[in-house]
């Protein structure tokens, strides 16, 4: 079982970035409005996530690292109507099997070292939850050698935090790397305010709101101020960061001929879709999800962007 856990762990968690993603999603699932991410060496030496979410009761603490234990579904049918993004109960089990792991909540701390439960003991009382991950993959050489430099791990994490912070503009996010504050976002009242903080003031954005079978909201840049930017299309589904080529294509097609070649729009789109219309279970790290009706979604995204660009014909 320990071996199975470590193999599965490699699928869910490949890099510090995946750890941060799982921990931040757990914090959001717990209703946190304030999330602090502390890193040392881009997460290679330390990842600490502190939230003000609903916390974990003492008796539930050991369950958090048990494989397939989740508080988010209680019966099989719930899989089809899950609202939170994590539900398979795999992440903490995986992470704690490949690191020196600690989870603290409500005055208790559970410590696990590379899959072995070390202790459950009293700790300073905190309202939310504090998860600490040290020495990731140190005892898993096959994984350890694939890790990149602290700088590239850090960049990947920061990119993700910006992405998720755009999709959850009402949540405060703080990132500290090697003791330096890299990002400090106090909760915003609307997406545009957060977009300005993260993407910059020197772009003009059009707000987008569309409702059909799905609800699409977000912002896109006007076609006249484009600068080429890599990774400039940020997509979310039910406020979780995902990557999706089809949605990206729908956005680009809606800009068709409005943009000079090799120029890309900046876009932040969140798609609110009924959980029974998606399968978040196709990719262990949940970076990609499956849409049951991708044709319709493509059309909806296209229409949403096209209609808000209509007034900006060049
Ligand atoms: P999943 O998110 O799929 O349920 P995880 O392994 O990520 O599985 O987490 C296991 C369980 O631990 C969650 O179902 C939740 O009950 C609890 N948990 C994890 N992180 C937090 C947190 N930050 N706040 C509250 N509960 C948490
Ligand atoms: Mg989770």
At how many degrees (to 10) do helices 191-198 and 150-167 cross?
A: 160
**Confidence band of 230 (pLDDT split at 50, 70, 90):** low
* E strand map for the chain: 34-40, 46-51, 100-105, 108-113, 116-122, 129-134, 172-177, 180-185, 205-211, 215-221, 233-237, 240-242, 267-272, 278-279, 290-291
The finding on whether 139 has its CB within 6 A of some atom of ligand 1 is no
Question: Residue 92: its pLDDT value, please?
Answer: 94
Give the mutation target among 20, 48, 71 for probing the ligand 1 site: most ligand atoms within 8 A of CB. 71
**Domains 2-185 and 202-312 are alike in CATH topology:** no
Question: Residue 1: its pLDDT value, please?
Answer: 57
**Confidence band of 159 (pLDDT split at 50, 70, 90):** very high
Kindly tell me if the per-residue pLDDT of 164 is higher than 90.
yes
Q: Which residue has the higher pLDDT, 313 or 68?
A: 68
The finding on whether 238 has its CB within 6 A of some atom of ligand 1 is no
- ipTM surpasses 0.90: yes
Beta pairing, strands 46-51 & 34-40: antiparallel
Question: Residue 6: its pLDDT value, please?
Answer: 65
Where in the chain are the domains? 2-185, 202-312
Question: Residue 303: its pLDDT value, please?
Answer: 95
Question: Right CATH number for 2-185 from 3.40.50.300, 3.30.1360.120, 3.30.565.10, 3.30.365.10?
Answer: 3.30.565.10
Question: Residue 3: its pLDDT value, please?
Answer: 65
Least confident range from 67-71, 79-83, 99-103, 200-204: namely 79-83
The finding on whether 72 has its CB within 6 A of some atom of ligand 1 is yes
pLDDT tens digit sequence for 4-39: 666 666 667 889 999 999 999 999 999 999 999 999
Ligand 1 center to residue 70 CA distance, Å? 6
**Confidence band of 174 (pLDDT split at 50, 70, 90):** very high
Ligand 1 center to residue 181 CA distance, Å? 26
Question: Residue 313: its pLDDT value, please?
Answer: 60
Ligand 1 center to residue 129 CA distance, Å? 10
The finding on whether 265 has its CB within 6 A of some atom of ligand 1 is no
Kindly tell me if the per-residue pLDDT of 51 is higher than 80.
yes
| Domain covering 202-312 in this structure, CATH number | 3.30.230.10
**Confidence band of 52 (pLDDT split at 50, 70, 90):** very high
The finding on whether 30 has its CB within 6 A of some atom of ligand 1 is yes
Ligand 2 center to residue 91 CA distance, Å? 5
Chain mean pLDDT for the chain = 88
Which residues touch 105 (CB under 8 Å, ≥6 apart)?
Answer: 55, 56, 61, 126, 128, 129, 130
The finding on whether 89 has its CB within 6 A of some atom of ligand 1 is yes
Ligand 1 atom, smallest distance to 89 CA: 8
The finding on whether 87 has its CB within 6 A of some atom of ligand 1 is yes
What average pLDDT does the segment 64-75 reach? 69
Ligand 1 center to residue 72 CA distance, Å? 8
Residue 135 · residue 145 · CB < 8 Å: no
Kindly tell me if the per-residue pLDDT of 79 is higher than 60.
no
Highest mean predicted confidence (pLDDT) among 57-61, 261-265, 307-311: 57-61
What average pLDDT does the segment 261-285 reach? 85
Ligand number, closest to the Cα atom of 64: 1
The finding on whether 26 has its CB within 6 A of some atom of ligand 1 is yes
Q: Which residue has the higher pLDDT, 171 or 140?
A: 171
The finding on whether 86 has its CB within 6 A of some atom of ligand 1 is yes
């Amino acid at each position: 079982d320990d071996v199975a856990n470590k193999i599965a762990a490699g699928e869910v968690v490949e890099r510090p970035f995946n750890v941060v993603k799982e921990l931040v999603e757990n914090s959001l699932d717990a209703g946190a409005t304030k999330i602090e991410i502390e890193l040392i060496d881009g997460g290679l030496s330390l990842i600490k996530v502190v939230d003000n979410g609903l916390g974990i009761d003492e008796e539930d603490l050991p369950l958090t690292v048990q494989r397939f234990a989740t508080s988010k579904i209680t019966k099989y049918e719930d899989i089809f109507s899950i609202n939170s993004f994590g539900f398979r109960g795999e992440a903490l089990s995986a992470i704690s099997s490949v690191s020196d792991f600690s989870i603290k909540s409500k005055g208790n701390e559970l410590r696990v070292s590379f899959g072995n439960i070390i202790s459950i003991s009293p700790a300073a009382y905190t309202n939310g939850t504090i998860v600490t991950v040290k020495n990731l993959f140190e005892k898993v050489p096959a994984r350890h050698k694939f890790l990149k430099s602290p700088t590239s791990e850090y960049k990947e994490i920061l990119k993700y935090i910006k992405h998720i912070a755009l999709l959850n503009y009402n949540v405060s996010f703080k990132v500290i790397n090697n003791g330096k504050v890299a990002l400090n976002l106090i909760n915003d009242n609307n997406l545009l305010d957060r977009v300005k903080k993260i993407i910059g003031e020197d772009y003009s954005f059009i707000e987008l709101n569309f409702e059909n079978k799905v609800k699409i909201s977000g912002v896109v840049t006007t076609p006249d101020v484009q600068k080429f930017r890599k990774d400039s299309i940020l997509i979310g589904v039910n406020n979780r960061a995902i990557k999706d080529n089809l949605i990206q294509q729908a956005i680009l097609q809606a800009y068709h001929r409005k943009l000079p070649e090799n120029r890309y729009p900046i876009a932040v789109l969140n798609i609110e879709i009924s959980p029974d219309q998606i399968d978040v279970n196709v990719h262990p790290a949940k970076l990609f999800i499956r849409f049951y009706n991708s044709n319709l979604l493509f059309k909806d995204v296209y229409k949403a962007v096209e209609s808000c660009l209509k007034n900006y014909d060049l």
